[in-house]
């Protein structure tokens, strides 16, 4: 076997192993939006595992070649709606009544206060910034419905519709690094935080 053929075989083997490792073990992802506040903040590096997503997970999705993080709210056959700012899945409200105000950095580094409520989807308990409205939508076969935890700023399945299950690229589990771009300082209290 010539050295050129051997080099080509080694290259193909390395690329194949990298693809397998990425899909099974996982990969880092920089988050650049506020769509998942307060669960994941803008300018955080999160770990996305290659595990199979279940309802309630924060998942990476690829849309037009761009990665994004959203919460998997419903699977095929389920019905999703938002009435008076409250999320219902199959007619059951998943967001609680407990209200709390938190500080959040908005556009142009302006500090703002947002109201969050407790929510539970599947085995996941988390907080969301509620809002919006949406008529009932039944999720089609082979698709999943994704929402951002910050409903006022997230572009999610409300405008796009449900996405194909195959567009999900993994489950976000941990904040590896968190940076506050407005003050140019690490958010030490966020590093290593589990993503519920």
pLDDT tens series, the chain, 196 aa: 565 555 444 445 444 444 444 445 899 999 999 999 999 999 999 999 988 999 999 999 988 788 999 999 999 999 999 998 899 999 999 988 777 878 777 777 888 888 899 999 999 999 999 988 899 999 999 999 999 999 989 999 999 999 999 999 999 999 999 999 888 899 999 999 999 9
Beta bridge partner(s), residue 92: 89
The pair of structure tokens assigned to 51 is 């595990």
DSSP summary character for residue 195 = -
Task: From residue 162, give the alpha-carbon distance in Å to each of 79, 89, 172.
Answer: 11, 14, 19
The pLDDT of residue 108 is 76
CB 73 within 8 A of CB 168: no
Say how many C-beta atoms besides its own lie within 10 A of residue 106's C-beta.
Answer: 13
pTM: 0.84
Q: What's the CA gap between 162 and 133, in Å, rounded?
A: 16
* Residue ranges covered by each domain of the chain: 3-190
- CATH level 2 (architecture), domain 3-190: Ribbon (2.10)
The pair of structure tokens assigned to 137 is 């939508």
């Amino acid at each position: 076997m010539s050295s050129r053929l051997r080099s080509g075989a080694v290259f193909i083997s390395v690329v194949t192993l990298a693809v397998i490792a990425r899909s099974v073990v996982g990969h880092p992802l920089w988050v650049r939006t506020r769509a998942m506040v307060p669960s994941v903040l803008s300018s955080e590096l999160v770990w996305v595992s290659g595990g199979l997503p279940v309802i309630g997970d924060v998942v990476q999705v690829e849309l037009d070649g761009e990665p994004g993080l959203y919460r998997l709210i419903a699977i095929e056959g389920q019905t999703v709606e938002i009435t008076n700012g409250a999320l219902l899945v199959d007619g059951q409200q998943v967001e609680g009544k407990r209200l709390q105000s938190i500080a959040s950095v908005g556009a142009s580094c302006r500090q703002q206060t947002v109201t969050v409520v407790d929510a539970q989807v599947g085995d996941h308990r988390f907080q969301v910034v509620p809002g919006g409205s949406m008529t009932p939508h039944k999720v089609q076969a082979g698709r999943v419905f994704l929402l951002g935890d910050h409903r006022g700023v997230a572009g999610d399945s409300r405008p796009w519709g449900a996405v194909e299950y195959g567009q999900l690229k993994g489950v976000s589990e941990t904040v590896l690094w968190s940076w506050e771009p407005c003050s140019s300082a690490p958010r030490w209290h966020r590093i290593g935080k589990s993503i519920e």
